[in-house]
Amino acid sequence: MAQLSTIVGSILRDMVLAQHEANLYALRLSESYRKNGSAEKFNLPVIELGEVDMEIRYSVKDETAETEQHEFDHHSIRRGLRKLSHEISDAILETLQDETFNKGDSILQTSIPGALQKLNRQPEINRQFCTFLGRSLMKAIRLNIPGLFHSGKNIDLVRLREIIAEVIRQEVIEHPEFQGYLDNPLIEKIMQVIDNILPVLTKDITVRRKQVYPSLDITIDAAELAKVPEECIHSLKMKVLPGQIRLNHTEDSIE
């Protein structure tokens, strides 16, 4: 017995594999033509799969079967990453203010650039910069989604930490309006705070979720079908159309 989805999937994979092997053979043939000067001007023979009609006759053996699949939980990932970006940006600003303004040295504070003074004194400016940091973090995380979830199970905290540290360096330490007042050691002080909250912020992000779908166990074996009443034999008719995927096209899957 086999599942209907497995049989159809196997047929479609075989068709893709056949086209793939034909493409590779044509590529090797073109190289051979180039090496042979007398054949270089020949037209290269190429085969491409066209429209295919097929019919699969099958009999249902068990209609109570189930298929278990594990798929990316995009909703949990989006929600978790938004919360994480917000909490991390808050932590960055709080640590920045503690390290810059809460040292008790009034003489040193007079040299603080005006932009930093506004962050400390004007709540609206503070809120806007916090939002800016959150968006910058989210953008950087989205650009690195494949590296963060390469295991398919958990978020790579080491890589996530690197992304956060890079955003701090670009958007805080090297921010042009801070006039070079902040230095790189501040990154590690901020990261010490983030290291304490990062496991808590990521523990509830479900990378994959289990889905159970109803399925059919069927047989397509001719010998078995011969034993089945004709009215219990079904036909699945399919029209398969050729398609192409552009390899240079990328799409962000975590919006």
| pLDDT computed for residue 5 by the predictor | 80
Bigger pLDDT: 24 or 246? Answer: 24
* Other CB atoms within 10 Å distance of the CB of residue 14: 10
Residues 155-164, mean pLDDT to the nearest whole number: 90
Lowest-confidence range among 63-67, 180-184, 197-201?
63-67
Percent of the chain whose pLDDT exceeds 90 = 16
Write the single-letter amino acid at 73.
Answer: D
| pLDDT computed for residue 238 by the predictor | 87
Q: Which of 197, 195, 124 has the alpha carbon at shortest distance from 158?
A: 195
Instruction: Tell me the C-alpha distance between 41 and 43, whole Å.
Output: 7
Instruction: Tell me the C-alpha distance between 218 and 178, whole Å.
Output: 69
Residue 146 sits at the vertex; the CA angle it makes with 145 and 147, to the nearest 5 degrees, is 90
| pLDDT computed for residue 253 by the predictor | 42
Instruction: Tell me the C-alpha distance between 234 and 60, whole Å.
Output: 8
68-105 pLDDT, tens digit per residue, is: 766 777 777 888 888 899 999 999 998 888 877 765 44
* Other CB atoms within 10 Å distance of the CB of residue 35: 9
Res. 110: pLDDT tops 60: no
Residues 52-57, mean pLDDT to the nearest whole number: 89
Res. 212: pLDDT tops 70: yes
| pLDDT computed for residue 250 by the predictor | 43
Bigger pLDDT: 40 or 56? Answer: 56
- Torsion, Cα of 221, 223, 226, 230 (10° steps): 0
Global confidence as pTM: 0.55
Residue 7 sits at the vertex; the CA angle it makes with 4 and 10, to the nearest 5 degrees, is 145
